[in-house]
Amino acid sequence: MIAVELRKLFRRPRTWVTIGLLNALPVLVAVLLAVTDLAPRPGEGPVFLSAVLTNGTLYPLAALAIVLPLFLPIAVALIAGDSVAGEAQSGTLRYLLARPAGRTRLLVAKLLSVFAFVLVTVVVVAAVGYLVGQLLFDVQPIGATIGGAGGTTGLSGTTLTPADIVGRTLLAIGYVTVSMLGVAAFALFFSTLTDSPLVAMLGALGILVASSLLFTLDAASSIAPYLPTRYWLAFVDFFRVPILWRDVVRGLALQGVYVAVLLGAAWANFTTKDVTS
Amino acid sequence: MAGRRSGAAARWAAVLGVVAVLVALPSLVAALPASEAGTSAPDLRRAAVASADVAFTGYAQSAGGLSLPVGDQLTAVANLLSDRTTMRAWYRGPADWRVDVVSPTGETGVHADAGGTWTWNYETATATRTAPSPLALPTASDLLPSALGRRLLSEAADDELSRLGAERVAGRDALGLRLVPADQASSVARVDVWVDADSGVPLRVQVFGKDAAGAGAEAALDTAFLDLELTTPSAEVTAFDVPPGAHVRKGEDAGLVQAASRAGRDGDRIVLPAGLTGLARRTIDGAPRGVGVYGRGITLLAVSAVPRRVASGLHDALVTAPGAVVDDLGVRISAGPLGLMLVDGPEGRMLLAGTVSLDALAAAATELTGGQS
């Protein structure tokens, strides 16, 4: 059943159109930067963007930072919100459940296909960022360490070798993927509550907008550690020396709790729901 | 149908039970009792002051509620005292440590060695070498609970101290120590320091001004470790090599300190008295002539000559600040326990700053300008 769901998801043109659109913004930003040579001042704009003109190796991270606040969650909420509610809306949910597989297995299959979508999306954004960075910006050649010419200066003023950058970029990709699982879990839960994919998607986005807003309020600082978007930007901490694990670990644990609770709620709701469409 | 309903109820009960446990977990952890030790207040102070050799690795946050209306002159200091600052610290000894101020998109690290400090700023790609100076404006590393706690307790008298209970700070047992300054002129109501029971390292420091000292009042400055490990960090972590491509600068004293030394060099016009508003002058080797520091412990008043050019910008910022007192003596304001005054003296403008009340500032200004008010 999992294979069926995966095939269904990745055979749909809509999935690839979403991923394509998601990559359009980082590519546009890269082209504009390369043409105008005007990088944002350090400390302004998405993280790492100020450094890419001199070092294209960092563009996968800049690309992730560009799509992370809004576009990536929208794409994830769109697909995850559609997973159950979309079947209900098109009237196919009944038939899916008529198979002997059971509702819990269907939910798990939907869940895994959404997670696969999140991973593929993040990896594609990073890969397109890598290609764009190599093509449009100056790149420090790998292995050119003689005289200290190679490597990239990390946030702490320590020189990171190209191998360091690759390893830490992979960690960051993994972390961003996990950060998006919370969004996926919200959308999947709402998707079991309603028959409208749009409502499920907007519900998940509403939670994220509220979370981002509360995070900026000093008055809400007591609940800030529990907001789903609180630790999203912690992937930057992989580029400090030594790596600052504190927020990364908290971010992973928080996403784990959200995913577990929301999937539990989705399961409690879906397995006993009256399916009429 | 009834079976399905009861199944649903059981499933939802299981989910809600898990949620309840998860929600209660943070408050349960916070409610873990701290174990009290029968250390007396003077002993606890001695342990804290003697902890300068304890190596540690930590993560700390400081929150200041002091908005200093000082214009462009002291932006860095004003930000430090009004914002939330997140710091990572590696401490091997008094002359070998590193403190990074972490921001979401960058960081500023200070690496100290025997010959001074290197300050690395990622966002400007600048490495600044600064030699030790007898007088320097506060930086983030001074706000680390260990450094601030030792400094504030260093000159406290035994009769100013009392014990508070025990609390858990950074997951460790911390013993409370309260310092109530005896000086009349002081604008600080009290300082609460939470000292690690095992090592004596101050883990949390809260400074309360006299303007907001009641129960439940917000601290004017609150700095605490959130994580602390008493392990010696490796020398590699605290060392600093200028990265290729970085701009290298030589650190300079802040504009105001430079201005004060210039004003002092101009001649012997400025003669600072041996005492001001009941506070005795301190001797600081190597300090510019035009700068005097008065007081003891946490009641301190700095007096500095300021050239007219530098003073006018500061004056404009101060007079427009809410709550500013403008009279014949000059203009004075307070921000929590911090008092700031620009005095129109016969020999030019003088800046008074410190942890003293507005009345004490006015009295000091009267003494400085020769008694006419």
Write out pLDDT tens, residues A14-38. Answer: 899 999 999 999 999 999 988 888 8
Reported confidence tier of residue A148, pLDDT bands at 50, 70, 90: very low
pLDDT of residue B267: 46
Q: Which residues span the domain enclosing A19?
A: 2-270
Number of independent structural domains in chain A: 1
Residues comprising chain B, all counted: 373
Q: Is the ipTM of this complex over 0.95?
A: no
B167 & B205 share domain? yes
pLDDT of residue A141: 52
B167 & B218 share domain? yes
**CB pair distance less than 8 Å for B120 and A157:** yes
The domain that holds B261 is classified in CATH as: 3.30.200
Min distance B129 CA to chain A CA atoms (Å) = 14
- Non-local CB neighbours of A144 within 8 Å, separated by 6+ positions: A150
Query: Does any domain span residue A167?
Result: yes
Chain B residue with minimum CA distance to A230? B104
The domain that holds B158 is classified in CATH as: 2.50.20.10
**pLDDT surpasses 50 at A143:** no
Lowest-pLDDT range of A76-80, A267-271, B70-74? B70-74
B87 & B202 share domain? yes
B279 & B244 share domain? no
Query: Does any domain span residue A252?
Result: yes
Q: Is the dihedral angle over the CA atoms A257, A262, A265, A266 positive or is it negative?
A: negative
pLDDT of residue A145: 37
> How confident is the prediction for chain A on average, in pLDDT?
86
Query: Does any domain span residue B373?
Result: no
**CB pair distance less than 8 Å for B8 and A272:** yes
Task: Report how far residue B225's alpha carbon sits from residue B202's, in angstroms, rounded to the nearest whole number.
Answer: 9
For chain B (373 residues), the mean pLDDT of every run of 10, in chain order, is 69 89 86 85 95 95 80 70 89 94 88 91 86 78 93 92 92 94 90 94 93 75 94 93 85 63 59 86 79 88 81 83 86 87 82 90 88 51
pLDDT of residue B9: 85
Chain A hits for B122, Cβ within 8 Å: 42, 153, 155-157
Task: Report how far residue A24's alpha carbon sits from residue B136's, in angstroms, rounded to the nearest whole number.
Answer: 50
pLDDT of residue A43: 64
**pLDDT surpasses 80 at A100:** no
| A219 DSSP 8-state letter | G
Query: Does any domain span residue A119?
Result: yes
**CB pair distance less than 8 Å for B105 and A236:** yes
Query: Does any domain span residue A251?
Result: yes
Query: Does any domain span residue B328?
Result: yes
B83 & B227 share domain? yes
pLDDT of residue A254: 95
Chain A residue with minimum CA distance to B107? A155
Query: Does any domain span residue B92?
Result: yes
Q: How far is CA A162 from CA A57, A130, A140, in A?
A: 8, 13, 8
Nearest Cα neighbor of A181 from A267, A83, A86, A263 is A263
B203 & B230 share domain? yes
pLDDT of residue B371: 63
B103 & B235 share domain? yes
Do residues B307 and B263 make contact, with C-beta atoms less than 8 angstroms apart? yes
Query: Does any domain span residue A277?
Result: no
By CB neighbour count within 10 A (0-12 exposed, 13-18 middle, 19+ buried), where does B49 fall?
middle
Number of independent structural domains in chain B: 2
**Of all residues in chain A, what percent carry a pLDDT higher than 90?**
49
B188 & B205 share domain? yes
Query: Does any domain span residue B25?
Result: no
Pairing of the two strands B106-113 and B96-103? antiparallel
pLDDT single digits (tens) A238-247: 999 899 999 9
> Is A43's Cβ below 8 Å from some Cβ in B?
yes
pLDDT of residue A101: 67
B124 & B96 share domain? yes
User: Which of residues A262 and A157 earns the better pLDDT score?
Assistant: A262
Q: Which two tokens stand for residue A175?
A: 């972390």
Selected residues 236-265 of chain A with any CB under 8 Å from a CB in chain B: 236, 240, 242, 244, 246, 257, 260-261, 264-265
Query: Does any domain span residue B12?
Result: no
B153 & B58 share domain? yes
Query: Does any domain span residue B20?
Result: no
**pLDDT surpasses 60 at A144:** no
B237 & B275 share domain? no
Q: Where are the alpha helices (DSSP H) in chain B?
A: 2-30, 41-49, 75-82, 145-153, 235-238, 255-265, 308-319, 358-368
B78 & B201 share domain? yes
Q: Classify B318 as helix, strand or coil.
A: helix
pLDDT of residue A191: 93
**pLDDT surpasses 90 at A5:** no
Stretch A202-223: mean pLDDT: 90
Nearest to A156 among B109, B227, B246 (CB): B109
Give, for B104, the enclosing helix (H) or strand (E): none
pLDDT of residue B373: 42
pLDDT of residue B5: 64
- Among B248, B274, B299, which residue terminates a domain? B248
Chain A hits for B246, Cβ within 8 Å: 153, 157
pLDDT of residue A96: 75
**CB pair distance less than 8 Å for B127 and A157:** yes
Task: Report how far residue B329's alpha carbon sits from residue B153's, in angstroms, rounded to the nearest whole number.
Answer: 33
Query: Does any domain span residue A143?
Result: yes
Q: How far is CA A104 from CA A1, A68, A252, A264, B121, in A?
A: 11, 31, 25, 11, 52
> Is A223's Cβ below 8 Å from some Cβ in B?
no
pLDDT of residue A151: 63
Residues comprising chain A, all counted: 277
Chain B hits for A157, Cβ within 8 Å: 109, 120, 122, 127, 240, 242-243, 246
Q: Which residues span the domain enclosing B282?
A: 255-368
